[in-house]
A and B are shown apart, each in its own frame.
Chain A
Amino acid sequence: MDSATLDLLRVRLTELLGEHRAGRDAPLAQRLATLGWEEVLADDATTATRLLFEARGATLSDADALGPLLARVVADAASRPDLAGATVVIPASLDPRQCSAAIAGGKLRVEGVVLSEPAEGATLVVPVAWMDGHRRLAILRRGAGWSGDRLSGMDETLGVRLRGGAGEADVDWIDEPEARSIWEAATTAARWAVAAELAALGGAVILQAVEYTGQRKQYGRAIGTFQALQHRVAAAYASLVGAAEVTAEASRSGRAWDALVAKALAGKATENACTQAQQCYGAIGFTWEHPFHHYLRRSYVLDRLFGDWRTLEAEIGAALAVRTEVPKIGAI
């Protein structure tokens, strides 16, 4: 895509996600279709997906972009086009190394998180821990007795906790080693996509803090003229730009390591951006009246999604400690 096309797409996606309300509007996929989304994906799926998640982060949209992405990646990795419309159930802890489901008494019990709730009869793809420690993917349909409750906690707009069960006879299985590589592909895509969302959220937070500090006056001058605040904001912004660069590279390479590093950088940079912006806002940033807390709460939960930065940073450290050379990120 040339830069004019990219700019146009960015503007259209930001408009669309900015006014989209899950539950009120048609699913995001249908609305994207009006933008010619399928053609855009065919042209450059990676860049288009990254822009979509960036628009979601900057607008704090609750439109489900992750669900369709996970389904597409799983369908491709499994060579199962029939799964392209499935709902991939994320482990309840949001940690991809854990599983959403287990076998007990001849039944599969599922508890996990989805960003948009699948209808009864919809196809689900669920990672399941097997007794020997192997991972399998269960493919089943949502039954009548299943429950879907809005998530509580830091950000109640994130998604739905899905609970239910199925008899083993009603489950199709994808086994090792295919299941492992499919789940790794899903984790990798989710990590760079959520990293893009986080970095864009952090960018929006910084821009709003810049605007506020230019207006708010203390000691007879705008507080943005104080070097102490300028340095906080500038350092946070530089970290975000670095995280966004690594995220873009990870999206192009599609490598697990790159996505892991991108997610760690974006989570850390965004948390820091929120911390510094909160300092700029002072007490007003601690009130319900001010919109900042929506960004802060969303950033905490996005950081957990597919691995939080503190955990990923420990993973990076452990991996580096046993290597003799610094691994590449993407092409460099």
Chain B
Amino acid sequence: MRPRPEAADSRELSPRGYGQRLAEFLSSDAKVAPFVSYRPPDFESGAHHLTGLQALLFDEGWSRLGWPEQVGGLGGDPRFRAAAALRVRTRSTVERLAREETLGPEVSIDKLLLVDAETAIWDSIRQLYGPGFDLDPGLNWIREEFLFSRAAPIYGGSQEIQRSLVAQRVLGMPREP
């Protein structure tokens, strides 16, 4: 979304989670690019024309895929399967970007898989640590990471938005009257 400068107003929010990652963005009368205008990143020039969701898939998707190995012992766990689905799906999407294909509403599936994996894996991490996770003064950093993981179903387009996109734009189900 590229709002006209005069229509945009933003302020930083004090996020309860990790770092200064959230901002409130208010705009009215904004011009919104059509959904299909996702452009692949220009790897040659280094100018990445990533939309918010694409940036999210790179930043959150890739950078957090290391977690399943780190928590260990989750091989037979449904949470590990959620991470595996995300990992392979994200690779396919990145390969499509590398081939300079135009991505469509199906990238919402990537986001839905990301949320499943992100929230479930962090639930597992909290459980594996045991009660010390919530009580140990030395674990403040990991609690903040955990609390930020709760934002996954909201940032970059909420679960409701992504599910509506998959239902209506991918599957062709009718919109609400």
Which A residues contact B (CB, under 8 angstroms)?
92-95, 151-155, 226, 228-229, 275, 278-279, 282-289, 293, 296, 300-301, 304, 308, 310
Contacts and interface: CB of A to CB of B under 8 A. Distances in A.
Contacts of A153: 134-137, 139, 143
29 contacts: A93-B131, A93-B135, A94-B131, A151-B135, A152-B135, A152-B140, A153-B134, A226-B160, A229-B160, A278-B150, A282-B158, A283-B24, A283-B151, A284-B13, A286-B13, A286-B15, A286-B16, A286-B17, A286-B151, A287-B13, A287-B22, A288-B14, A289-B14, A293-B16, A296-B150, A301-B135, A304-B131, A304-B134, A308-B127
Given A275-B150, A282-B158, 16 more contacts: A93-B130, A93-B132, A152-B136, A153-B135, A153-B137, A154-B134, A155-B134, A228-B164, A279-B159, A283-B24, A283-B151, A284-B24, A286-B16, A286-B17, A289-B14, A296-B147
A279 B158 contact: yes
A105 to B, nearest CB: 26
B22 A283 contact: yes
Contact of B143 (A154, A285, A289, A308): A154
Contacts of B164: 228
B62 interface: no
B40 interface: no
B155 interface: yes
Interface in B104-151: 127, 130-132, 134-137, 139-140, 143, 147, 150-151
Contacts of A151: 135
B49 to A, nearest CB: 25
A300 B134 contact: yes
A95 B133 CA distance: 13
Contacts of B160: 226, 228-229, 279
A287 B17 CA distance: 8
Nearest to B160: A228
B89 interface: no
A204 B95 CA distance: 47
Given A95-B131, A304-B134, A279 B153 contact: yes
Contacts of A289: 13-14
Interface in B7-46: 13-17, 22, 24
Contacts of B139: 153
B163 interface: yes
B154 A286 contact: yes
Nearest to B164: A228
Lowest 6 A-B CB distances belong to which pairs? A152-B137, A154-B134, A153-B135, A228-B160, A93-B131, A304-B131
Given A286-B22, A287-B22, A310-B127, A279 B154 contact: yes
A151 B153 CA distance: 30
B117 to A, nearest CB: 16
Contacts of B137: 152-153
Contacts of A301: 134-135
A278 B164 CA distance: 19
A301 B136 CA distance: 12
Contacts of A226: 160
A145 to B, nearest CB: 21
A228 B134 contact: no
Contacts of B22: 283, 286-287
A308 B14 contact: no
A297 to B, nearest CB: 9
Nearest to A113: B135
B163 A288 contact: no
Contacts of A92: 135
B168 to A, nearest CB: 13
Nearest to A290: B16
Contacts of B159: 279
Contacts of B135: 92-94, 151-154, 301, 304
A283 B134 contact: no
